Homo-oligomer: A and B are copies of this chain.
Amino acid sequence: MSKEKNAFQKFRKKTYIVIYGTNTFAGKAFDLVLLGVIVLSILLTMMETVKSFEENTTFHDIRIGLEWGITIFFTIEYLLRIISINKPLKYIFSFYGIIDLIATLPMYLAQVFAGSGVLSIVRSLRLLRLFKVLNHPKFTGQSTQLRDAMIASKGKILVFIYFVLISTVLIGSIMYVVEGRENGFTSIPTSIYWTIVTLTTVGYGDISPVTPLGQFLASLVMILGYGVIAVPTGIVSAELAKADQKLAIIEKNPCADCGAEDHQENAKFCHNCGNNLLDD
């Protein structure tokens, strides 16, 4: 029986390396297969909502077959993930654990509740984890830099959105009074929706000012929006530029003699004391 246990432990370890790891060939291959299955399942869910496809019974039958295949694949994978990991409870209640569980459910639920097939779309969140497939150091560095710049921008962007929201309430209310219900500004919330559509320069045109005063005010809002759209861009640009500079400083080698730090990549001698940097 100890032998059996041993074999099970071996199986668990191997499974762990294949499912969670990315360094072995099997681990990489598993991730790629999983990526393919997820993309396939997303495409199937999308096509299910396209009338011309779904009305075709051949397509419908193939789709149901594939959906069951995918569901069984995800179920087995989910169970293996629980079995092979050392702290299964921590995994089960983690963000990805819950996503993985939801990814297995749609077909089972569809037996009970109609229309739960749309749940399959949650599977697209699994793609976030598969980001590791692109586990090239360059990509990881780039995404870390992007994430850091966005975290650093958070404070400024929140302050900015606070003022933008107050502005949309004010502008929306004024436009509601100026244009009125008969011109599509049917209520203040609708007017605020119009203000956001305009300030962000989306401009659907489902609602647009008709009275001369309304068009004049809208022009002011658009020119304001001009300056306003510049702000988040400016914030992110400045943060990314700063991140680049930090990276550049870190890469510059310090001199062993005088400690001067800002040498260029290809420097041979310290620019401050003339010490030979290559001797260090």
Contacts and interface: CB of A to CB of B under 8 A. Distances in A.
Interface of A: 42, 45-47, 49-51, 118, 121, 124-125, 127-128, 131, 134, 138-139, 142-143, 145-146, 149-150, 155-164, 166, 169-170, 173, 176-177, 186-190, 192-193, 196-198, 200-206, 208, 212, 215-216, 218-219, 222-223, 225-227, 229-244, 248-249, 260-274, 276-277
Contact of A222 (B145, B197, B235, B238): B197
Contacts of A176: 49, 118
A95 to B, nearest CB: 14
Contacts of A198: 202
Contact of A225 (B187, B200, B236, B263): B200
Contact of A237 (B46, B189, B233): B233
B241 A236 contact: no
23 contacts: A46-B192, A49-B189, A124-B166, A124-B169, A146-B160, A189-B216, A193-B219, A197-B218, A197-B222, A204-B204, A204-B208, A229-B233, A230-B235, A234-B236, A234-B239, A238-B240, A238-B241, A241-B241, A242-B244, A260-B266, A268-B272, A269-B274, A271-B277
Contacts of A249: 264
A187 B268 contact: no
Contact of A268 (B143, B208, B223, B274): B274
Contact of A236 (B46, B170, B233, B264): B233
Contacts of A269: 269-274
A238 B233 contact: no
Nearest to A202: B203
B268 A266 contact: no
A45 B166 contact: no
Given A166-B124, A232-B227, A237-B234, A46 B188 contact: yes
Contacts of A248: 242
A231 B45 CA distance: 30
A60 B227 CA distance: 38
